[in-house]
Amino acid sequence: MSEGQIYPYLHELEESGSVTAEWQTNTGAAPRKVYQLTPEGRTQLSKHRADFKKFIAGVGSVLGADQSGMEAVNG
């Protein structure tokens, strides 16, 4: 993904309350914006992760894939 794709999405997540953002200026390096998940964001992440696991399991069952290869996704 490029910056042109990531930052608009981060701003959208910030507006929805899924993440917070703050500028760090005292690091000795160039100022940077740091994002952190909110409790609501963590809840949404858990839901999306569960939905994705169901999707992967469904695709695997259609393809007849061995589920042991899905450990990285399920971790």
pLDDT at residue 59 tops 90: yes
Burial class (CB in 10 A: 0-12, 13-18, 19+), 57: middle
* 33 and 21 Cβ atoms separated by less than 8 Å: yes
Q: In whole angstroms, what separates CA 2 from the centre of its chain?
A: 16
In tens, the pLDDT along 13-51 reads: 999 999 999 999 988 889 999 999 999 999 999 999 999
pTM of the model: 0.65
